[in-house]
Structure 1
Amino acid sequence: MHIKSNQENLVYLSSTFSKLLKRRFGKGPETCTVIFKGDRYYVYMRNFITPAEEVLIKQEKLELAIHFRSSIINAVTEEYLPEVSKVLGISFDYFFHDWNYDKNTGIFLLDNSQSDHKENIDYSFESNLFALIENVGSSYYKKPESLKIVKFTQNICAVESKEVLLPLERLVYEKGNVELLLHQAYEIKKGYWRNKGQFEGLFNRLIEDMFIMWDYKNNRNYLVFIFNKLYTMK
């Protein structure tokens, strides 16, 4: 009997996710890249926008497009999660997603709440990165009580920030005013995009994409950088 390698498992899971999206949306992403390490499972997608979403975006109804996609992603996740857990032998407690409609890219994350994985990063670099994240973010949201690099490769860097919500924001979430939070999250991400050059200088990498996934229930977020294959020139 052929025992699948880890890479074969990831290819299978990527294909399965694409097929589920196509079945639910009527259109799957053009590419679907899976990254797995440290009990966190990432899927990066390109060219995902459906004709229905294109209409909503042209009519400047971005929030409706986000609600539409979120509802279907929730249904896809219910079906996909058991398969991922079975193949990888790990249970996942939370899932998050974020979409850049202007770039036609998206990210999906499965998280195990028991994971304490932390990347072994040079202390000086880590301190500079955290300081820059806090400096940029301070204009938009509460200073995090803690930051942790949970994923760092030549392709991706993911940073978890905890205790990021002000009391008023927690109240807004508890009252179910999701539209207000979506608008705020969009503005925060735009702020990070405006400072992309500073992050590229620190990473010495060209940044191809950025995402922020919010876990309002547990008062945290994930800031994810996707790198271009090219390095910057210093």
Structure 2
Amino acid sequence: MDKNEKQIQSEIASHIGRLLRESFGKGPQSIYVNISRPFIVIYLRNFLSPTEKILLQQDQVDSVRHTRDLVMKSLIPEIKAYLLLAEMNIREFYYDWGFDNYSGILVGMESDRHSLLYSPQEWYAGKEELHGEMEKISQQIQKKPEEIRSYLINERTLLVVRTGMLISLGKELIRLGFEESLKLAEHNLERRHLFNNNQLQKIFQSRISDIFMDWNFHLDKSVTVFILNPSK
């Protein structure tokens, strides 16, 4: 990584930290920015405000998630505008929280034009097996994805993009205005399947520190991020 790239990542981390601190009263302790175009993956650690901590102790996870969703809706346009300064034209934006670890992930995806120009590492050991497991989980919850693609952003960050999983029931729930409820149900089910899957650790040959997931139902697309802790 050249000095300029390190500087850009550092500036993005600083800006995101300030935005989150101003919006939540407390920013993350650590922010790791990884640019592997057409993706930018921002991993947040130790991110929890005192109020949120109290709510989580009272099992109010859904309330904390709902409040963060409202705040993120106002922050995403500002984050996208700032990333334009790094010459990243973000078309899609995903995020999720790991309340058990006080962690979080932000994922930006550039336009299709940029997807053709850049190619992050798409080959890695265990790729076929991982796709097989993701396919099984998708089938148990909705249906087999029309496409699965995955990218090793760095040795600790693996990103999986699935498209074409929504069944008619899901589409109707979205049409009736139950998108938030559908996303919460999907999140809970998928998180349970992924965290209880012993095969994943064998596939990665690494301990899994965090798993994040988010959906864009209008594009029928899902993004999953695995944070790995490879043994040296």
1:112 to 92, 110, 132: 110
Q: Which range moved further: 167-176 or 30-39? A: 167-176
What residue in structure 1 maps to residue 68 of structure 2? 69
Residue 156 of structure 1 and its aligned partner are, at CA, apart by: 0.8
What residue in structure 1 maps to residue 140 of structure 2? 139
Contact 2:122 2:152 survives alignment (8 Å): no
- CA distance in 2 between counterparts of 1:118 and 1:169 reads 32
The alignment's C-alpha RMSD in Å is 1.9
| Amino acid across the alignment from 1:182 | L
What residue in structure 1 maps to residue 94 of structure 2? 96
What residue in structure 1 maps to residue 59 of structure 2? 60
- CA distance in 2 between counterparts of 1:174 and 1:36 reads 35
What is the aligned residue count?
226
What residue in structure 2 maps to residue 208 of structure 1? 209
What residue in structure 2 maps to residue 31 of structure 1? 30
What residue in structure 1 maps to residue 131 of structure 2? 130
- Gapped regions of structure 2 (runs ≥ 5): none
Q: Which runs of 4+ in 1 moved over 4 A?
A: none
- CA distance in 2 between counterparts of 1:165 and 1:127 reads 23
| Amino acid across the alignment from 1:27 | K
What residue in structure 1 maps to residue 192 of structure 2? 190
- Identity of matched residues, %: 23
| Amino acid across the alignment from 2:90 | F
Q: Give TM-score scaled by structure 2 length.
A: 0.90
* Matching of residue 49 in structure 1 with residue 48 in structure 2: yes
Change (3 A) 1:89 1:152: closer
What residue in structure 2 maps to residue 14 of structure 1? 13
Change (3 A) 1:152 1:34: closer
Residue 219 of structure 1 and its aligned partner are, at CA, apart by: 0.3
- Gapped regions of structure 1 (runs ≥ 5): none
- CA distance in 2 between counterparts of 1:4 and 1:81 reads 23
- CA distance in 2 between counterparts of 1:152 and 1:18 reads 21
Change (3 A) 1:95 1:120: closer
Contact 1:156 1:225 survives alignment (8 Å): yes
Residue 120 of structure 1 and its aligned partner are, at CA, apart by: 3.6
